[in-house]
Chains A and B, each alone.
Chain A
Amino acid sequence: MIRRTWIQMGMPVTVCIADPSASETDIDAIEELFDAVDARFSTYRPDSEVSRLNAGELEADQVSLELADILAQCEVTKITTGGFFDIERNGAIDPSGLVKGWAIQRGSALLSSRGLRNHLVDAGGDVQVRGLNADGLPWRVGIRNPFDRTQIIKVLSVYDGGVATSGTAIRGEHIYDPFSADSLSTDLVSLTVVGATVYDADRMATAAFAMGRDGIEFIRRQPGLECYAVFRDATAQYTMGFDDYVRYGLRLAGQGAGPDFDVPPGDLLLVRFAGDRFGAGVSR
Chain B
Amino acid sequence: MWETFKRFVLSASVVVLFVLYAFQKQADTDSAGRAVARVIPTTTIALDDTVPGTSETVAADKPEPTATARVAKALPTKTPTSVAETTAVEEPTSTPTAVTTRKPTATPKPTKEPEPTATPEPEGQYADGTYEGSVEDAHWGDLQVVAIVENGELVDVEFASYPNHRSRSVRINERAMPLLITEALIAQSADVDIVSGATDTSEAFVRSLETALQAAAR
Contacts and interface: CB of A to CB of B under 8 A. Distances in A.
Interface of A: 5-7, 10-12, 14, 16, 100, 120, 122, 124-127, 129, 133, 139-147, 149, 151-155, 163-169, 190, 192, 213, 216-217, 220, 230, 234-240, 243
Given A12-B206, A12-B209, A139-B193, 18 more contacts: A5-B213, A6-B213, A11-B200, A125-B197, A140-B194, A142-B196, A144-B197, A144-B198, A147-B185, A152-B188, A155-B192, A164-B196, A168-B198, A169-B200, A236-B183, A237-B182, A238-B180, A239-B180
A149 B210 CA distance: 17
Which of A151, A164, A166, A220 gathers the greatest number of chain B CB atoms within 10 Å?
A: A151
Given A7-B206, A124-B201, A169-B202, A230 B185 contact: yes
B189 interface: yes
B191 interface: yes
A190 B200 CA distance: 13
A75 to B, nearest CB: 23
Nearest to A190: B198
A216 B198 CA distance: 16
Given A143-B197, A144-B197, A165-B197, A240 B190 contact: no
A155 B196 contact: no
B196 A140 contact: no
Given A133-B193, A154-B188, A230-B185, A124 B199 contact: yes
B32 interface: no
Given A7-B210, A11-B201, A236 B196 contact: no
B61 interface: yes
A217 B59 CA distance: 13
Contacts of A11: 199-201, 206
Contacts of B194: 14, 16, 120, 122, 127, 129, 139-142
Nearest to A213: B61
Interface in B166-218: 178-202, 206, 209-210, 213
A190 B36 CA distance: 58
Contact of A152 (B190, B200, B202, B213): B190
A167 to B, nearest CB: 3
Interface of B: 61, 178-202, 206, 209-210, 213
A152 B187 contact: yes
Contacts of B210: 7
A220 B196 contact: no
A221 to B, nearest CB: 10
Interface majority SS (helix, strand, loop, mixed), chain A: strand
Contacts of A142: 188, 190, 192, 194-196
Contacts of A140: 191-194
A237 B184 CA distance: 9
A199 to B, nearest CB: 15
A21 to B, nearest CB: 19
Contacts of B180: 216-217, 220, 237-240
A154 B189 CA distance: 8
Contacts of A10: 201, 206
Contacts of A151: 187
Contact of A192 (B196, B200, B209): B196
B197 A155 contact: no
Contact of A16 (B184, B193, B195, B199): B193
Contacts of B202: 169
Nearest to B184: A235
A165 B189 contact: no
12 contacts: A12-B209, A133-B193, A139-B193, A142-B188, A142-B196, A146-B198, A169-B202, A192-B196, A220-B180, A236-B184, A237-B181, A237-B183
Contacts of A127: 194, 196
Given A7-B209, A124-B199, A238 B181 contact: yes
B185 A235 contact: yes
A126 B196 contact: yes
Q: Top 7 nearest A-B pairs by Cβ distance?
A: A167-B198, A144-B197, A142-B192, A124-B199, A140-B192, A142-B195, A125-B197
Contacts of A243: 181
A236 B190 contact: no
A125 B186 contact: no
Contacts of A133: 193
A170 to B, nearest CB: 9
A145 B184 CA distance: 12
